[in-house]
């Protein structure tokens, strides 16, 4: 089937300047061509008048936990139900792809890919890789302990969301188990967190040897490691180990920025989590203190990312996404860089997955010949005013994989 979207102004995910008055030809689920001027209509099955609005690639949230909850006490089946609802919500907000940064996603991803449920494409990390007493040690009481290998006296630890690994051998096993379950990249907890109570922010988690074991094992499978961290010590250790994607980093210093820039690393600040943490964080004094410290580092982090031109990714660190979080990016880096963080930069990130890419048939994050037909039509130009995406009524059209999910043009 061929669809033409006509009279539309195109943001291709890369260039700030729009291509004006183009026609996008979609063949089944791929962009077949982008044309200027008149074209033959004899093989077009349906035409959609874009009415001079702006078309952009579908958004990608690069730090999502679609089936994970902050309470840590839900059963696996409850998390799956939440994941189905969250996936539908994400798609209808314009997120046609997510990189899940830890959680139970293999069944949900399969259901979406097979058309059983609606949702975005998922690049799954599967279980968080954590050391004992690390950021993903979800035990909620000191009476909960490890009984034997992989068996814990803790329901939270038995969901499969986290893989506890101490020492190189356990790290290697955890990485390989995640690949067995279909991970496209690996997530490690490399430093202390805001929500967790057993690890202060300043802890550096995993030795350099352990981190390097995860990176090497991921490279053996043709892909990369992303790491949760905040402090210079954790960032520098992860960089030495070969981590490619750095999550949060609000307490980074100038030396960190130089290192990440020189290595061509990606950074995913998730600034909304520092600025507007969920109530479960706000209402606990230890979490609140950590959240305030992280939030205080955001201005310097934003300046360093700009100064050293580190490749920026958009992430919300949430369960069902929130396009209003794009306003944080607009405020810190401007509309164009913020939009590119959720589109064109993702295309570069996905290249790191090589043969682990679960969607190799088309490109993601860009609109050009050969890209997936994942696109949004908006009332205004988000590259000039990113806040337009914060209001649902400004999102006029949603297409994923060539299928229309919303059309109010």
Euclidean distance between CA atoms 367 and 382, whole angstroms: 15
> What is the four-CA torsion angle of 199, 203, 207, 213, rounded to 10 degrees?
60
Distance CA 380, CA 383 (A): 9
The last residue of a domain, from among 317, 333, 349: 333
Say if 354 falls within a structural domain.
Answer: no
Residues 37 and 67 in one domain: no
pTM of the model: 0.94
210 shares its domain with 118: yes
Please count the structural domains in the chain: 2
Instruction: Give the pLDDT score at 149.
Output: 67
pLDDT digits (tens, 9 = 90+) for 384-405: 999 999 999 999 999 999 999 9
Tokens representing 385? 């005013």
Same domain, 38 and 75: no
Residues 28 and 45: their CA atoms lie apart, in Å, by 11
Between 381 and 70, residue with greater pLDDT = 381
Around Cβ 174, how many Cβ atoms within 10 Å?
A: 24
Residues 135-144: pLDDT tens digits?
877 766 666 6
In terms of domains, do 201 and 142 share one?
Answer: yes
pLDDT tens per residue, range 332-361: 999 999 999 999 999 999 999 999 999 999
Same domain, 315 and 402: no
Report, as an integer, the average pLDDT of 150-174.
Answer: 79
> Both 105 and 238 in a single domain?
yes
Residue at a domain's end among 333, 351, 384: 333
CATH number of the domain that 402 lies in? Answer: 2.30.40.10
Residues 64 and 45 in one domain: no
d(CA 362, CA 128): 28
Cα 2 from chain centre: 30
For the residues 274-280, what does the mean pLDDT come to?
Answer: 52
Same-domain check for residues 150 and 296: yes
In angstroms, what CA-CA distances link 398 with 93, 125, 393? 9, 26, 12
For residue 332, what is the enclosing H or E element? helix 326-333
Query: Where does residue 162 fall: left (phi above 0), alpha (psi -120 to 50 degrees), or beta otherwise?
Result: beta
Regarding whether 50 and 73 lie in a shared domain, the answer is no
pLDDT at position 194: 86
Q: Give the model confidence (pLDDT) of 222-270 as tens digits.
A: 999 999 999 999 999 999 999 999 999 999 999 999 999 999 999 999 9
User: Which pLDDT score is estimated for 210?
Assistant: 98
For residues 259 and 318, membership in a common domain is answered with yes
Measured CA to CA, the distance from residue 64 to residue 97 in angstroms comes to 10
Task: Tell me which residue range forms the domain holding 188.
Answer: 59-333
Q: Give domain status of residue 355, yes or no.
A: no
* Dihedral angle, C-alpha 223, 228, 230, 234, nearest 10 °: -60
Residues 225 and 315 in one domain: yes
* pLDDT of residue 292 exceeding 90: no
Confidence of residue 81 (pLDDT cuts 50, 70, 90): confident
Q: What is the DSSP string of 234-276?
A: HHHHHHHHT--EEEE-TT--HHHHHHHHHTT-EEE--HHHHHS
């Amino acid at each position: 089937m061929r669809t033409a979207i006509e009279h539309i102004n195109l943001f291709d995910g890369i260039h700030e300047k729009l291509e004006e008055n183009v026609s996008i030809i979609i063949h089944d689920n791929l962009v077949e061509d982008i044309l200027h001027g008149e074209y033959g209509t004899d093989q077009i099955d349906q035409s959609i008048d874009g009415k001079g609005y702006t078309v952009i690639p579908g958004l990608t949230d690069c730090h999502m936990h679609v089936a994970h909850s902050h309470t840590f006490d839900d059963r696996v089946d409850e998390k799956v139900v939440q994941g189905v609802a969250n996936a539908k919500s994400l798609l209808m907000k314009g997120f046609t792809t997510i990189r899940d940064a830890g959680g139970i996603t293999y069944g949900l991803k399969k259901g979406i890919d097979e058309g059983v449920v609606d949702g975005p494409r998922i690049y799954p990390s599967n279980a968080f890789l954590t050391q004992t007493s690390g950021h993903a040690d979800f035990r909620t009481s000191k009476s909960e302990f490890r009984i034997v290998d992989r068996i814990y006296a803790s329901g939270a630890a038995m969901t499969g969301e986290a893989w506890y690994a101490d020492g190189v051998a356990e790290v290697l096993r955890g990485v390989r188990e995640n690949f067995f379950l279909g991970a496209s990249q690996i997530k490690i907890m490399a430093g202390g967190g805001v929500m967790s109570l057993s690890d202060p922010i300043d802890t550096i988690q995993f030795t350099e040897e352990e981190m390097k074991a995860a990176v090497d094992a991921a490279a053996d499978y043709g892909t990369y490691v992303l790491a949760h961290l905040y402090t210079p010590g954790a960032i520098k250790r992860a960089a030495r180990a070969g981590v490619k994607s750095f999550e949060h980093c609000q307490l980074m210093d100038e030396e960190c920025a130089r290192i990440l820039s020189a290595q061509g690393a990606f950074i995913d600040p998730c600034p909304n989590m520092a600025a507007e943490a969920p109530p479960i964080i706000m209402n606990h004094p230890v979490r609140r203190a950590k959240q305030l410290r992280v939030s205080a580092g955001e201005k310097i982090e934003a300046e360093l990312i700009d100064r050293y031109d580190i490749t920026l990714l958009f992430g919300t660190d949430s369960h069902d996404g929130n396009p209003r979080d794009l306003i944080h990016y607009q405020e810190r880096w401007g509309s164009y860089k913020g939009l590119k963080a959720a589109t064109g930069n993702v295309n570069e990130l996905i290249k790191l997955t090589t043969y682990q890419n679960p969607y190799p048939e088309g490109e993601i994050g860009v609109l050009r010949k050969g890209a997936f037909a994942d696109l949004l039509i908006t009332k205004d130009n988000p590259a000039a005013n990113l806040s337009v995406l914060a209001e649902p009524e400004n999102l006029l059209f949603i297409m994923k994989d060539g299928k229309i999910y919303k059309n109010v043009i």
